[in-house]
Amino acid sequence: MSPYEDSPEREWRRLRGIRSGRGRVSAGSWRLSFVVVVDGEPVGVQDLIGVDFDGFGTVTAFSWLSPDVRGAGFGKEVRRTVSPGTAGGASGRRSDAGG
């Protein structure tokens, strides 16, 4: 999701990307998206992305937060919440999920 596009085009582009990506999921290539919710309102996303996952066993991360909640620690909190399962992973391999 580009922070430079105007709303709602930014959100529609993101949703189209999610939908098109669902048809390309495999053991080696996938994306798992989490919604960041604060006080009942969606304010961002945190994605874990497996590229060549079956060969390398690593994940990368993508995150985006609404400008009005940045700097409040939500990004760090969501990365800590999402990353424990990837910071060594079930296979003991490493994570590139930094943020």
C-alpha 25/C-alpha 59 separation (Å) is: 14
The β-bridge relationship of strands 59-65 and 29-38 is: unpaired
| Share of residues in the chain with pLDDT > 90 (%) | 18
* Residue-wise pLDDT tens digits, 71-88: 999 988 888 888 765 444
| Share of residues in the chain with pLDDT > 70 (%) | 80
Report the mean per-residue pLDDT for the chain: 79
Structural domains of the chain sorted by starting position, each given as residue range(s) with its CATH number in brackets: 9-85 (3.40.630.30)
For residue 6, pLDDT over 50 is answered with yes
